[in-house]
Amino acid sequence: MSQYKTPDVYVREKSILPPSVAEVATAIPAFIGYSTKIEDINGESIVQKPIRIKSMIEFEANFGGAYQESFMLKSKNDTNTAFKVISLDAGGTEVNGAPAAQYFLYQAVSHFFANGGGACYVVTVGEAGSGLSKADFETAVAGLNKVDEVTLISTPETIGLGAVDHYSVQNKSLAHAESRMDRFALVDVQMQMVKTATGDFDIATDSTMLRSSITAGLQYGASYYPYLQTTVARSYNESNVNVYIDDGTGTDTFNIVSMADLGDDAAADYSAQTYNLVKAELGKNYLVLPPSPAVAGAIAKTDKDRGVWKAPANVALSQVLAPKVAIDNDDQKNLNVDATSGKSINAIRSFVGKGTLVWGARTLAGNDNEWRYVSVRRLFNTVEESIQKATHFAVFEPNTPFTWLKLKTMIESYLENLWRAGAFFGETPEQAFFVNVGLGQTMTEDDINNGIMNIEIGLAAVRPAEFIVLTFSHKSIEG
């Protein structure tokens, strides 16, 4: 009790409002991959060190620019007056037969920002061009334990690994998310590039591979398919672009000239026009990217515009020409629902007049009634972590009815605000959620004697209207 020794008027403030729950950030992804810069301005290594960025300017400052690929371009050149491209290949960088770059962390993060993403973490696991390693990725995933803010995980460059190693990293991400209970893994379905008799990629082969390989943390992740043909031009080093030009002898032999030498004195036989035509052709060689970075951006935008409880689906993706596989309703039946494994795969589809849309909202636990939907799992992640952090003040407080009431009031106020925003089902707060704490309700005398305070929280989370059924009938004239 205060002791007053000098006559005066003293002012005291008394808090009558309960503590409040501050909601944690919901869409802060961690992108893991290889970068062109692996040291900071002091020459210290940044490998395996998560760094928070908010723009591509910050990415370039920390991790450098895009990796420059090497290409082989075969062409038909008739007496240097006509130039016709025969084929354009990413020499030495094709991934499982797919026209996808091997090192594209720069473009992946850029795709995230282009699709509505905000702050994120980037972890470089080594210098681009040094070779992909499963161990590098798995070390980085484990290192995310040091970053509390991360809520999404994306490792897009692992599609360049073999299928066993790719899905090993994805299992590592899912297990990590499950152990933390505060984050969610975005899994890219690796396209095996096996084609059917019709010449299209074999969806069944790709989906079967994922379902037989993914085993961990199913409710804490979602998979997306297929790869995306983007509008992002590939980055190349002119000195490493070899142009194979027909020598005009009719013997189908070629002169090999680097793009950097076209038009120079060393290659005087070739005109500047040839160089410009090669450059124009390379400019049309757009990147194929796995979908997880763009989906992470779509999730961030949905969270910001609507809320974490809104399913991140029926959302158009930016900087995308089309999915690499055209998926129709019949194809999606087997992707969305699988009776054998229960592992759902979210399709990305193109619709006339609407663009390329994320057209699925299921976790990998697609047949689980509780955790079937991405939005439900992520809503619980958010609520659980927000309340956990807000109730930390009560550790070592007296385990008495006064403390219980304080916590109950604080949590109910937070949940009621979420209900008013549309996060929960129910016409009244009582229908939407409950918070129970107290002796005889959630605790016994033995619990209290052992310093245990149990709080039970129930939420009626809203679920997406995945199947909308319209029933029509003829109305009789008399009726």
Pairing of strands 320-323, 51-53: unpaired
Measured between alpha carbons, how far is 269 from 243 in angstroms, rounded to an integer? 14
Which residue ranges make up each domain of the chain? Answer: 29-63+103-231+289-376, 68-99+235-284, 396-479
**pLDDT score for 470:** 72
- Which residues in the chain land under pLDDT 70? 1-2, 17-18, 73-99, 247-252, 263-271, 478-479
Please tell me the class of the 29-63+103-231+289-376 domain: alpha beta
Measured between alpha carbons, how far is 389 from 182 in angstroms, rounded to an integer? 12
**pLDDT score for 256:** 78
**pLDDT score for 178:** 97
- Predicted structure pTM score: 0.90
Answer for the pair 122, 305: CB distance below 8 angstroms, yes or no: no
Handedness of CA 195, 198, 203, 209 (dihedral sign): negative
**pLDDT score for 81:** 45
**pLDDT score for 93:** 42
**pLDDT score for 215:** 96
How many C-beta atoms lie closer than 10 Å to residue 351's C-beta?
A: 11
Measured between alpha carbons, how far is 66 from 300 in angstroms, rounded to an integer? 24
273 contacts: CB under 8 Å, gap ≥ 6: 83
Measured between alpha carbons, how far is 425 from 246 in angstroms, rounded to an integer? 68
**pLDDT tens profile 98-140:** 447 899 999 999 999 999 999 999 999 999 999 999 999 999 9
Residues forming beta bridges with residue 135, ordered by sequence position: none
- SS3 string, the chain, reads CCCCCCCCCCCCCCCCCCCCCCCCCCCCEEEEEEECCCECCCCCECCCCCEEECCHHHHHHHHCCCCCEEEEEEEEEECCCEEEEEEEECCCCCECCECCCCCCHHHHHHHHHHCCCCCEEEEEEEECCCCCCHHHHHHHHHHHHHCCCCCEEECHHHHHCCHHHHHHHHHHHHHHHHHHCCCEEEEECCCCCCECCCCCECHHHHHHHHHHHCCCCHHHEEEEECCEEEEEECCEEEEEEEEEEECCCCCCCEEEEEHHHCCCHHHCCCCHHHHHHHHHHHHCCEEEECCHHHHHHHHHHHHHHCCCCCCCCCEECCCEEEECCCCCHHHHHHHHCCCCCCCCEEEEEEECCCEEEECCCECCCCCCCCCCEHHHHHHHHHHHHHHHHHHHHHCCCCCCHHHHHHHHHHHHHHHHHHHHHCCECCCCHHHHEEEECCECCCECHHHHHCCCCCCEEEECECCCCCCCCCCCCCCCCCC
**pLDDT score for 167:** 98
Q: What is the amino acid identity at position 443?
A: M
Measured between alpha carbons, how far is 418 from 384 in angstroms, rounded to an integer? 13
**pLDDT tens profile 48-84:** 999 999 999 999 999 999 999 877 766 655 544 465 5
Asked whether the bond before 226 is cis by omega within 30 degrees of 0, the reply is yes
